[in-house]
């Protein structure tokens, strides 16, 4: 067996998924984010805060699957842009609650249709049935990977972000 066949990266699902995600992110960035001045990381943070609602940094990072340090850096930039604000948690003065500002919410509402349009274009490319099966498979794989992470020692999993 040649090395080329032995190490065919197209058979390694995490490599294929990352390649797809990178290409989709690049398309989305060029079509939707670049004109707004947002980075992909800032968008992910912003849209996840819109999805989750007011929360603290660790919860936002955990729920969105983004490293807390990356989330913190994005939040600092988003606060400077006036898209996110923070205030002291009334229940724990050591923590800050994060919240979208009105301009932040408006920006999410402006960009969101473009995110959905990219998904719709893929749906049209492969067909409803295949896309539905793909999304269902992704959900199952996300659950599988979360279960694997949940059984790793704290220092090796995203639980460290909690």
Asked, for residue 34, whether it belongs to a domain, the answer is yes
Q: What is the pLDDT of residue 156?
A: 53
- What is the count of structural domains for the chain? 1
pLDDT at residue 162, as a whole number: 44
* Other C-beta atoms lying within 10 Å of the C-beta of residue 111: 20
Residues 38-79 have pLDDT tens digits of 999 999 999 999 999 999 999 999 888 888 999 999 999 999
Tell whether 4 is covered by a domain. Answer: no
CATH code at 86?
1.10.10.10
In a domain, 3, yes or no: no
Whether residue 70 is contained in a domain is answered as yes
The pLDDT value given to residue 159: 47
What are the φ and ψ backbone dihedral angles of 56, each rounded to 5 degrees? -90, 165
Containing domain of residue 47, as a range? 11-161
Q: How far is CA 17 from CA 67, 119, 131, 141, in A?
A: 19, 15, 15, 11
pTM: 0.80
Which residue in this structure is represented by tokens 């694997």?
A: 148
In order along its 162 residues, the chain shows pLDDT tens digits of: 445 567 777 778 888 999 999 999 999 999 999 999 999 999 999 999 999 999 999 999 988 888 899 999 999 999 999 999 999 988 888 899 999 999 999 999 999 999 999 999 999 999 999 999 999 999 999 899 889 988 888 655 444 444
């Amino acid at each position: 067996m040649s090395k080329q066949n032995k190490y065919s990266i197209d058979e390694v699902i995490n490599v294929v998924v990352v390649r797809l995600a990178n290409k989709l992110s690049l398309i989305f960035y060029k079509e939707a984010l670049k004109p707004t001045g947002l980075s992909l990381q800032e968008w992910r943070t912003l849209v996840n805060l819109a999805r989750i609602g007011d929360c603290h940094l660790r919860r936002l990072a955990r729920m969105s699957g983004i490293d807390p340090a990356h989330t913190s850096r994005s939040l600092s930039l988003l606060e400077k842009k006036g898209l996110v604000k923070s205030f002291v948690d009334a229940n724990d003065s050591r923590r800050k609650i994060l919240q979208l500002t009105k301009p932040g919410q408006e920006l999410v509402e402006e960009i969101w249709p473009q995110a959905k349009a990219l998904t719709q274009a893929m749906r049209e490319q492969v067909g409803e049935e295949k896309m539905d099966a793909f999304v269902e498979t992704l959900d199952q794989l996300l659950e599988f990977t979360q279960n694997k992470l949940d059984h790793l020692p704290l220092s090796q999993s995203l639980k460290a972000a909690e």
